[in-house]
Amino acid sequence: MTNMPYLPLMDTNQDDHLVSLINAMSKAEKRNFKLYVNRLSSKSDAKFVQLFNVVDRLNRWEEALILKKIPTIQKAQLANLKRHLYKQILISLRLIHIQKNVDIQIREQFDFARILYGKGLYIQGLKILDRIRQIAEENHQDLLLLEILEFQKVIEERHITRSRQTKNKVESLIEASETSSKIIQNSTKLSNLKIEIHGFYIQYGHVKNDRDIFIVKELFRKRLRKIKLEGLSFFEKVYLHQCYVWYYYTLLDFEKCLSDAQKWVAIFENNPSMKKEEPELYLRGEHYCLTCLFNLSRLPAFKRNLQRLEQFETVYGEELKMVSHIIYFLYFSTAKLNKHYLEASFKEGIAYVPSILEKIKQYKNHLDPHRILVFYYKIAFQYFGNEDYDTMLDYVNAIINMEVGQLREDLQGYARLLQLIAHYEKANFELLDYLVPTTVRFLEKMKELNEVQKRTLDFLKKLIKNRNIGHQKLFAAFREELHQLAKNSNTRRAILYLDLMPWVESKIQRKSIRSVMRAKLRKA
């Protein structure tokens, strides 16, 4: 079936670095590689070209098949040929990407300056360094800038140069080096902070109790005290707002999170050339604007931001690298599913699912388990909203059966609750008698049994116990419980991930989930 979940984590075909690299190459890159190797004429080179052509048609490394197809290659030669081919592919890719990446251009020129210096032509080397120093400054390449400045200092220290005849030239060089060093130190502290906060979220999800709130706030405040917050460079500003975005996102403060995400994006809007140089960083900022707007249920603003994301791909799409295309797919597809949920346009959302699954297959070696979990959870909710409980179960079961350890255990717990609801709708009461205690044990083992989950489990137990009578009163009572839980900041996370109110209302009003959600949307 087209819409069945795809489980890339179970695919072990792509375990060879050479196969992975060749399969990740575009048609243009493969064509360029063949043009590049045509300049090489030795017999050994001809063998690695043959190896490239054979591996290009494989999905996995199959040594026996390769040796059979290329009888001129001995088994003892294969390991060296693999290494040689891998290196030559990287060299050919570098020749292509040097036109697209300013940092690669700077490194190449820096290498030229080193070669000239080694030849005793240090004045010529300094001229190159002066030129690329300006390029590095204009493109906020702080690490490369410091390396350039340090090499300039080495030359000035060891030789009598024309720079020493220029008043304050050396002093200016020293000052620039000190400034650049401070920027890098501060950027490192900021990037460390955002990784720590992000790591907490990936492991545990949003804060779920006062203890989690205390841990996150103390971690953030302790690290932030050591960071300079005035006179920041481009990346320092972006990293600072990234830190705040993750901080507020983990704390479920979506208003403040949105504010910092908008500031993050605004930095790029004020430096439009950096969208091209750092597209992944820009896309992440847009993603968090969309995520916050979704969690705040601000549909008009959400649509505007989604349109801006599409416009970015239209303008820069042809120039994006593979990693940027993957990130755009992740963020755009997530936003599309969120849009269909906000609009209650579930049929349209379901129609979009096959294209997501196709992309997941295409990028199977580049997607981490967390991304797959989130996609399947959001897809499951599209089918939930459309009241297609059979297909919903396919995705819920895929989440439950994924071997991901403790990664996003919160999503795995919510998936189990959706599993119970789907079986209730299918009147699988005997199965529910087994699944309910199993779910309780799982959640207790993961220490994830929060108040929303407890109340939901209690409610489902009542439905199962009273399976032969009407459930209107039970649903009405549970609706009141959900209203109370929504007012509690400690249960807000569960309400976000387990949005059961439309389902409950549909049972009380005896309408479809879609009609209940659209009626609410019209009143907003």
d(CA 398, CA 414): 13
CA distances 230 to 184, 227, 236, Å, are: 14, 9, 10
Whether the Cβ atoms of residue 171 and residue 219 lie closer than 8 Å to each other: no
Question: Closest by alpha carbon to 95, among 145, 154, 35, 23?
Answer: 35
CB-CB neighbours of 473 under 10 Å: 11
What is the token pair recorded at 469? 């009578």
List the alpha helices (DSSP H) in 446-500: 451-465, 472-486, 492-497
Count Cα atoms within 13 angstroms, Cβ side, for 474.
16
Q: Which alpha helices (H) appear in 278-428, and where do they start and end?
A: 279-295, 299-316, 322-343, 346-362, 369-385, 389-401, 409-425
> In degrees, to the nearest 5, what angle opens at C-alpha 57 toward C-alphas 51 and 58?
90
DSSP string spanning 121-152? -HHHHHHHHHHHHHHHHHTT-HHHHHHHHHHH
Q: Are 470 and 506 in contact (CB under 8 A)?
A: no
Residues 6 or more apart from 219 whose CB is under 8 A from it?
Answer: 196, 197, 200
Segments in 98-250 forming alpha helices (H): 102-118, 122-138, 142-158, 169-204, 210-224, 234-250
> pLDDT at position 415, please?
92
Whether 309 contacts 288, CB under 8 Å: no
Residue pair 399/392 in contact (Cβ under 8 Å)? The answer is no
Give the pTM: 0.83
CA distance 108 to 125: 13
Note the pLDDT of residue 11. Answer: 44
Q: Give the separation between CA 262 and CA 522, rounded to whole angstroms.
A: 27
How far apart, in Å, are the Cα atoms of 85 and each of 34, 55, 61, 431? 12, 11, 14, 55
pLDDT of residue 14: 46
Cα dihedral value 134, 137, 138, 140, nearest 10: 150
Per-position pLDDT tens, the chain of length 524: 446 676 554 443 445 899 989 988 888 899 999 888 887 655 555 788 889 999 998 888 988 999 999 988 888 989 999 999 999 999 999 988 887 889 999 999 999 999 999 999 989 999 999 999 999 999 999 999 999 999 998 888 787 665 555 557 778 888 999 999 999 999 999 999 999 998 888 777 788 788 889 999 999 999 999 899 999 999 999 999 999 999 999 998 999 999 999 999 999 999 998 998 899 999 999 999 999 999 999 999 999 999 999 999 999 988 888 889 999 999 999 999 999 999 999 999 999 999 999 999 888 878 888 888 889 999 999 999 999 999 999 999 999 888 765 556 778 888 999 999 999 999 998 899 889 989 888 888 876 677 888 899 899 889 888 877 778 899 999 999 999 998 887 787 778 888 999 999 999 999 999 999 999 888 76
pLDDT at 164: 52
Q: What is the pLDDT of residue 207?
A: 83
Q: What is the pLDDT of residue 266?
A: 97
Start-to-end CA distance of the chain, whole Å, equals 38
Q: How many residues does the chain have?
A: 524
Helix 409-425 / helix 429-445 crossing angle, nearest 10 deg = 170
452-469 as b/e: b if 16+ CB within 10 A: bbebbbebbbebbeeeee
Do residues 481 and 460 touch, judged by C-beta distance below 8 A?
no
Q: Say which amino acid occupies 343.
A: E
What is the token pair recorded at 457?
A: 């489990």
- Using DSSP, state whether 205 is helix, strand or coil: coil
- What distance in Å separates the CA atoms of residue 391 and residue 256, rounded to the nearest whole number? 37
